[in-house]
Each structure stands twice: as C-alpha cells, then as structure tokens.
Chains A and B, each alone.
Chain A
C-alpha cells in the first residue's frame, strides 16, 4: 500500500474518517475553483498532449457548459451526490482517473482513488497533489484518498464496503476480479471492460480532399491512433472503407499516413514491431483474412469479416484491419457488443443515423468525427457519469 493522499494520517484512519465529512452540492463553488486551478496547471504540460487535453476539458467554459446543461436537465428535481465513490483507475491511460474523479467531484461526492502501481507518469499525480495541498481546497482534500495497493492486499475489500459507487476501469480481467470483491449492498457500480473501436472513411471523400485537408485529416487520425499506442479502447483498430473507389483511396491515404507517422517521429519499439509481424501472420491463417502487409510504421490486415477472435488478437501499436463496404450501413452486420467508438470521415449525420438504426447488437456507444476518438466526455460507454454519481430524492 502506498498512500499519496492524505499525507497527515494513515490509510485506515483516512478510511474511517472519510464518510464523516459532508458532501458538496453538485457543482459547488470550491469544486469549480479546484477544476479551474487544475486546468491552468495541466494545459501548460506541452510535452504531454493527453494531459493538455485533460486540462482543456477542465477549462472554465467547458465545466460551465456542463453545469448549465445539468441544471436544465434537473430543473425542479432534488439531486444529491451518492456519497463516496471508489475509482479503480487503469494502469496506462493515466489521465482516465482524473476524468472519473472530476466528474464525481462535480457531482459532489467524496472520492477514493486507486491509481495504478506502475505509475510511470507520476508527473500528473504530483501536479494534482500540489493543488490538493493548497488551503483553499481543504474541504476537497478532506474528502479525498489517493492510493495504490496490490490486489492481494485487502484494501479493495475495505473500500468496497464503505463506498456508494464503485467505478472499475481497465478491461475484462480487472472487471471480473474486482467484481468478486463484495460491494456495499447500497452501492451502484460502473464497469468499463475491454472495448474495440473502428473508423469509417468515405473513399470518395478522401479522394476529393486537397493536400492541406488531407494533411489535417491525417493529423487527427494520427492522434486518435498513436496517442496511446492504439491501446486506448476508443482508438480505431479497424478501418471500414466505404464507397466504390476503395483501392485508390487507400493508396492515397496510407502513403500519406506513412509520411505522417514518420514526421511525427513516433517511437517504434523492437518488441512491438515483432508483435505486429507475428499478429498479422497469425491472422493470415484465418479464412476471413484476404491479405496482409507489414510496413515499418504500421501493418495492414485486409479482412472480409470481423469475428470476435480477430478483435481479441489485435495487438495495438499500429495494426489496422481493413474492411470494404459500399454503404456505411453495410457495416452494421459486423458490429458486435464489444464495439465502442466509430470515428468517421466523410458522412452526413443522417447516414450515421441509418447505421445506428440498422445495428441489432449492443455495439457502438460513440460516433465522432476522426480526431475526437479519444475525447473524453461525461457520457462513456453509454452511461452518464453525472447521473450515475448522483441520486434523486423524491419529495411529494
């Protein structure tokens, strides 16, 4: 067990005392000031674009907009925070725990956060701890515990007993493991298991782009794919090419993208190169795979169907499944429960709606333009955080 916050007492005392502190009302002033202060610090971290994105999300205007929307939705309702929210953060998308925590804090809750033990980016945590230590945020500080521990230690059990909401980030194994830990019967739970994401590109739209526009599109696509080494669950792993001129569009898109990755100086690693090579060869033994192409910066696997195994074998690091359809709605037959985000380029809103309408599985929770695949939002995997982090008291 390593306790990052509080600093003046031990974990067990902190756990005992946390529920004695009263909660905030949703969008409390102190909380708003805290998010603004944090935003200012984080947007300065230029060398960490994902932290800048987090800081940008926390900026005053965005939070204000969220507040206005929330107030509109809850007019004449009596909404209270749940109480204490237990966040179990993923190990590698190191900004997720902050989004999860901030939304819970905005809802008014006390928060206990288990960050990953790996912590190779403690910069973010250190910045947060500095803000938390400031006297003007004393009330928030008293309602916050940030720690890390091994799962064989029994701290997860202790926290699960006293929390009112449990949030599990981090894949199927984590969700299964944590779910074996008894949860306070009064608590609700949000779980974020493994997901798979894709992009849909209109071949004709790509061919109609000017050089500058294509470059812009590739910049956005690069961010969606490589910010988290294609390992974020919302990073596109399958590219669906729609239209008629598939091959022509692919040649244009991929050759330009190769230059893009090269110019971005994306850091390649030997183990990832071997892994992509291995995975593509492994996949090539399946009848659903038509051909494979291994390049220095990425590998392409042309598929004629997308079974769940193919999704599970995906290794990240720049491996693209490619699937050709004539109409976007044809994509609906391969969408499965696991599919989360569709990043698109070159489609009208109505065409996207037709697609969503024709999907019969649980698949697709987000449909966003290419470039916004990683943008975190108050609604994720189909659930609204502010809703799940609050409760409505009925007074008649």
Chain B
C-alpha cells in the first residue's frame, strides 16, 4: 500500500512541477478560453517553481464553462453548492479524470481508514444522490467516500429528520466493529448534533471514525470551531475519532485531511501555497493569506492551479509530529465579501439583503 504522505519537499516538488507544467501546456492547447487567459495575461507556460504556475480564481468556473476535452467525452459534471439563485461552478470530468479522482481519494484516505471496507453511516439524506449525471458538491462527496464503506446507511430521512430508530438498529447490528461516519460539517451540526440534543437522544457510535468537510462558515456564526465540534460530538454521540478535510469541487484531487494531530496535510499529488491577499505574492510559512491549491489531476478542465477565497496558514513542511511529510496547514475561513460603495444597488440594500 502506498502512502501519499511519504515524499519530502525535495522529492515532491520537481515531480509535481513537471506534471503541472505538462497540464498548463495541455490546457493551453485544448481550451481556447484558458489559452486566451494565459496569453493575454502574459503568464509563462513553463514555470520554474510551483509558485510560478499560473493560477485561476475559483470563481471563474462560475462565470465560464472551462473544458479541455471534447464535450462528448464528459461523463460527469460537478457543481458547487450554492444557495438558490446563486451561480454555481460547473466542473467537467471525463473518464480519465474521474477515475483518477476516485483513485487518489482512496490513496489519501487509506492511511486513516485502512484497506478494509468499514460499515458506513452517511450523516445525510439519500435523496441528495437523485441525479446521477450532475452532482452537487455534497452528492459527489458522498458518492466518492461511499467507496470506503459497506452496508451504507443514511441517517437522515428525506425531510432531514434524524432516523433515530434506524440508527439504533444499525449501531446494535455492528456493535464492536469500527464504523465509518461521513458527512458535511454543517449538516452534522444542524441535523444530527442539534437534533439529538433537542430530542434528548444519547447515542454511542462506539469505535467509529468520522470524516467531515464542507466548511465552517455557518458554524463560525455560532462560535464553533474544530475543537469545540470534536468535543461536543464526543460527549453527545460518543464519536471518538474525528477528521476534518478541506477540499473544493473545483479542484479534483485536492483533498487535504487532518492527521492525528489535527493538521490538514498535502498529499504528494497536490499542494497549497499561501499568497498575500492584496498582491498575491507567495508568503512564508506561518503567515496567513489566500490559499492557492495545486493538483496534478485536473486534465479534463483547466483547474490544476486555483486561487481560492479561503484564508489559511501553512504551519510547517515535512515535520509534522504525526510523521506524515508534506505541507501541513490550517484554514481560517473565507475572506470578507467586498463592500464597494456605489450607486447601483438600492434594491439589494433593501428586501433582498
């Protein structure tokens, strides 16, 4: 079994850079839009360092359809989660990129989950998977992670209520076994944790491991961070091991999971760079800035180097006490929305705000 966290900086960088340069060149030749951006923006196609690889802002995928393969080869379209009315990102996957995505996910998770499929509880509703060709971020996440489990049980009914009886039966059946729990941070908080408090349900998930992601935006308003979250889930539901992950639908292959020390790690086929929020210059470790993500996977669309709107800090590289190599970092949340003054938005200032 390969562990994607064993390469040091000196080993990883040239390999990744080579692959990213190949991708830049490929997308320039295959996507007219990407070629325009690179050429008209004066970017170098062959970068001499990871920092020099041209990066696109993730929001571009909301504004443009960016594809580097013929449309008929697209087998899957991923969309970002977004509230009604908002524009969503559209990410086009062909067979090759889709398979690579599944494979890397396995590699990233194996060090935590082992090779054996575990009984799996999905802390979400099954109805999210209705459309098989077009996946929301939540649907894609669930489907991707489902490969790690067996006997999948969905803990939420279609109306988002907690299936308490079903859960109890399931836990009884697999008592003593290690169970994989998967869900989205906010869904778990809102529909599992809060519901169980409200209904006074105490559960014991036993020797389980929870993997969750999707962002802390809504929990932040309630002043809940990762350590509070882990503690509360432990106390109320008896969940002993919790790993958050950071990733986005716009970049397949970039799944950064927390190690045993609670740090998000970069696997060998992906990386992060922190950039100054105003100049986009790369920052040294320990300084907070915009997170840029790099991944060698995106071949069917030009998403191998993306500038996110998330703020993060690299804590260190190759020296995490957990033993894994690579950069390890924390995510602090989204940059505040732009509040430009101007005379064109009376209406938004009113009812819709």
In B44-66, the 8 Å CB interface with A consists of 56-57, 59-60, 63-64
Contact with A along B314-353 (1 / 0, CB 8 A): 0000000000000000000001111111111111111101
A290 to chain B: which residues have CB within 8 Å? 40
Q: Does A305 contact B (CB under 8 A)?
A: no
Interface residues of B in 252-296 (CB under 8 A from A): 277-280, 290
**In the bound complex, do residue A277 and residue B338 qualify as a contact, i.e. CB atoms below 8 Å apart?**
no
Interface residues of A, CB < 8 Å — how many?
56
Query: Which residues of chain B have C-beta atoms less than 8 A from A231's C-beta?
Result: 340-344
Smallest CB separation, A308 vs chain B (Å): 15
Task: Check B340–A229 contact: CB distance below 8 A.
Answer: yes
Instruction: Give the bracket for the number of chain B residues in contact with chain A.
Output: 35 or more
Residue from B41, B59, B342, B349 in contact with A316 in the complex, judged by beta carbons closer than 8 Å: B342
A151 close to B351 (CB less than 8 A): yes
User: Is A93 in contact with B342, judged by CB distance below 8 angstroms?
Assistant: yes
Q: How far is the CA of A174 from the CA of B60 in the complex (A)?
A: 27
B201 within 8 A of A: no
B63 cross-chain contacts in A, Cβ below 8 A: 278, 282
* Nearest-neighbor residue (CB-CB) of A293 within chain B: B42
B277 neighbours in A (Cβ, 8 Å)? 270, 273
Contact residues in B for A273 (Cβ distance below 8 Å): 277-278, 280
CA distance A85 to B163 in the complex (A): 59
Q: Which residues of A contact B107 (CB under 8 A)?
A: none
CB pair B290–A274 under 8 Å, yes or no, is: yes
Q: Determine the chain A residues whose CB is within 8 A of the CB of B348 once the complex forms.
A: 91, 173
Nearest-CB residue, chain B, relative to A286:
B36
Q: Is A171 an interface residue (CB 8 A)?
A: yes
Kindly list chain B residues whose C-beta atoms are within 8 Å of the C-beta of A293: 42
Given the known interface contacts A88-B346, A270-B335, A274-B309, the answer about A317 and B36 at a Cβ–Cβ threshold of 8 Å is: no
B142 close to A (CB within 8 Å): no
**Which residues in chain B, 36-92, are within 8 Å of chain A measured between CB atoms?**
36-37, 40-42, 56-57, 59-60, 63-64
Binding site for A on B (CB under 8 A): 32-33, 36-37, 40-42, 56-57, 59-60, 63-64, 277-280, 290, 307, 309, 335-351, 353
10 A-B pairs with CB atoms under 8 Å apart are A90-B346, A91-B348, A91-B350, A93-B342, A96-B343, A151-B350, A171-B347, A231-B340, A232-B341, A284-B37
Residue numbers of A with Cβ under 8 A of B are 88-94, 96, 116-118, 149-152, 168-174, 177, 192, 194, 228-233, 268-275, 277-278, 280-282, 284-286, 289-294, 296, 316-317
